[in-house]
């Protein structure tokens, strides 16, 4: 990550923490919500907002509320995913999961809180005009809801124990993780008031990025360094999950990733007459070779 843009990631985190700190009814909901925000994470999604704004030659700070809101939604989804009724995970990134520390009831409410307050963060950002803010609420709620992330989570649950096809798997990924990778880039395009053609190309780039993210995940599950990924290797194979690696083999998955990277680069070439695409190239590279 570019150090300049990483600085905006820190500002987005501060924005979230200040917002949560401003709650004045229950200290416990504040503490439980902040716990999961501070549990770390790669902050890829906020970074995508800032990198895209920079490609328009704009001040990345214009995307702070969008970046914060999307990271809050990502975090709430992890809290609820980790619950006993869902994936029943005790640890995430080497730390106890929210419900293991605060109990299930509080964890459910902390997730609900981060989701609810994410829309408050967007709506209260007085630095953006109302019509931009309302477009951001539209884009983020669509990406997070039944036609986005939650739809994908549900498909994932429905697929458990079934033999699904590669097409069905792509459908799950495109929604479960893909939509919340597209949303930061789309949010930045809205803030930048991008023309339709630029926006369409950026969205296609973002979709490729989302799939590439998942292929890299599947590869890391096989050959990742546990001390870096924080996850046990080979867990997909043990769970007999359908993945890019199980379908195409390790080398096949790597080829798929390279092909996708080529396609995404081609889109960036098309965008280069309008945008400074350097930062987006770096993002693509980062997603393709990331070790965690």
**Chain contacts with a copy of itself (rule: CB under 8 A):** 20, 22-26, 28-30, 33, 76, 80, 83-86, 103-106, 108-109, 111-113, 115-117, 119-120, 122-124, 130-131, 133-134, 137-138, 141-142, 144-148, 150-155, 157-158, 171, 175
- Find the shortest distance in angstroms from Cβ 71 to a copy of itself: 16
Distance CA 83, CA 153 (A): 14
* Minimum distance from residue 105 beta carbon to a copy of itself (Å): 5
Distance of alpha carbon 262 from alpha carbon 233, whole angstroms: 28
Alpha-carbon distance of 80 to 82, in angstroms, equals 5
- Separation between Cα atoms, residue 80 and residue 91, nearest integer Å: 13
Secondary structure (DSSP) of 119-141: HHHHHT-TTS-HHHHHHHHHHHH
DSSP classification of residue 232: -
We find the least distance from the C-beta atom of residue 270 to a copy of itself, in angstroms, to be: 29
The nearer residue to a copy of itself, 49 or 144, going by C-beta atoms, is 144
Cβ closer to a copy of itself: 102 or 254?
A: 102
- Return all residues near 43 (Cβ < 8 A) that are at least 6 apart: 9, 12, 13, 71
Q: Which is nearer to a copy of itself, 152 or 224 (CB)?
A: 152
Select 14 or 116, whichever has its Cβ closest to a copy of itself: 116
Nearer to a copy of itself, 60 or 152 (CB): 152
């Amino acid at each position: 990550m570019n150090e300049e843009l990483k600085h905006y990631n820190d500002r987005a985190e501060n924005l979230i923490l200040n917002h949560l700190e401003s709650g004045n009814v229950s200290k416990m909901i504040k503490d439980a919500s902040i716990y999961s925000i501070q549990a770390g994470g790669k902050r890829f999604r906020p970074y995508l907002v800032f990198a895209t704004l920079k490609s328009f030659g704009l001040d990345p700070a214009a995307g702070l509320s969008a970046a914060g809101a999307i990271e809050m939604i990502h975090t709430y989804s992890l809290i609820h995913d980790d619950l006993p009724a869902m994936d029943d995970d005790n640890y995430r990134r080497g730390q106890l999961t929210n419900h293991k520390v605060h109990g299930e009831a509080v964890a459910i409410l902390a997730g609900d809180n981060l989701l609810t307050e994410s829309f408050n963060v967007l709506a209260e950002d007085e630095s953006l005009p109302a019509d931009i803010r309302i477009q951001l609420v539209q884009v983020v709620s669509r990406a997070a809801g039944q036609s986005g992330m939650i739809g994908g989570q549900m498909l994932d649950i429905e697929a458990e124990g079934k033999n699904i096809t590669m097409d069905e798997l792509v459908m799950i990924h495109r929604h479960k993780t893909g939509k919340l990778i597209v949303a930061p880039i789309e949010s930045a395009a809205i803030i930048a008031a991008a023309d339709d053609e630029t926006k369409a190309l950026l969205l296609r780039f973002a979709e490729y990025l989302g799939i590439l993210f998942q292929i890299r995940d599947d590869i890391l599950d096989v050959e990742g360094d546990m001390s870096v990924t924080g996850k046990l290797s080979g867990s997909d194979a043990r769970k007999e999950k359908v993945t890019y690696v199980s379908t195409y083999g390790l080398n096949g998955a790597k080829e798929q990733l390279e092909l996708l990277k080529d396609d995404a680069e081609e889109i960036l070439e098309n965008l280069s007459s309008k945008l400074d695409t350097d930062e987006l190239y770096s993002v693509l590279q980062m997603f393709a070779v990331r070790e965690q």
